[in-house]
Amino acid sequence: MGTFLFNVFVLLTLVAALGVVVNKNAVNAAMCLLLSLVGVAGLFVALNAYLLAFLLLLVYAGAIVALFLFIVMLLDTRGDARPTLHKLPLVARILAIGLVVAGVASFAARGTLPEPVIAGVPALGASLKLYAYQLFTTYLLPVQILGFLLLIAMLGVIVLSKKFEGLEDIK
């Protein structure tokens, strides 16, 4: 049962990720991104990282994909069908796809990692307490820097999206 679920989540992740790449419509691409994230969250659960799976769904699926959808709807780029200046040559596109496929295939075929013994390894990611302990001892400084980063990002977004009166001539 567990292996079956694992395969389902792997398939969901990769197929939905391909859907993001090939979908013409940006709204459909965002929905595929959502599905792919659900798949990754399932893989996190299979790795006993329950908090991270929950956070992935909450932050990515809840906030980021919603933001993407909001911007896609706001910009409404369907009328954006002006002829493009340079068509990406078909050769380059096929070459890109071929290189990516060849890279993954060669990694999957030959790159065997030394397999750690999993039997006695504790699932540290399963306990909330350890996250709190790590965040408030070893990683205390990064947590504070992250707080500043969020503040800076917030201020940056406000500056970017606000129209300033005196700055119109810069355009």
Hey, which residues between 131 and 170 contact another protein (CB under 8 A)?
A: 131, 134-135, 138-139, 142, 146, 149-150, 153-154, 156-157, 160-161
Place of tokens 């917030």: 154
Size of the site for another protein (CB under 8 A): 82
Q: Are 56 and 37 in contact (CB under 8 A)?
A: yes
Among 41, 55, 57, which Cα is nearest to 135's? 55
- Shortest Å distance, C-beta 165 to another protein: 16
Closer to another protein by Cβ: residue 82 or 169: 82
For residue 129, state whether it binds another protein (rule: CB under 8 A).
Answer: no
- Shortest Å distance, C-beta 169 to another protein: 14
104, 128, 140, 144: which one binds another protein (CB under 8 A): 104
Determine the angle formed by the axes of helices 65-75 and 26-46, rounding to 10 degrees.
Answer: 180
CA separation (Å) from 128 to 11, 55, 104, 140?
Answer: 29, 12, 34, 16
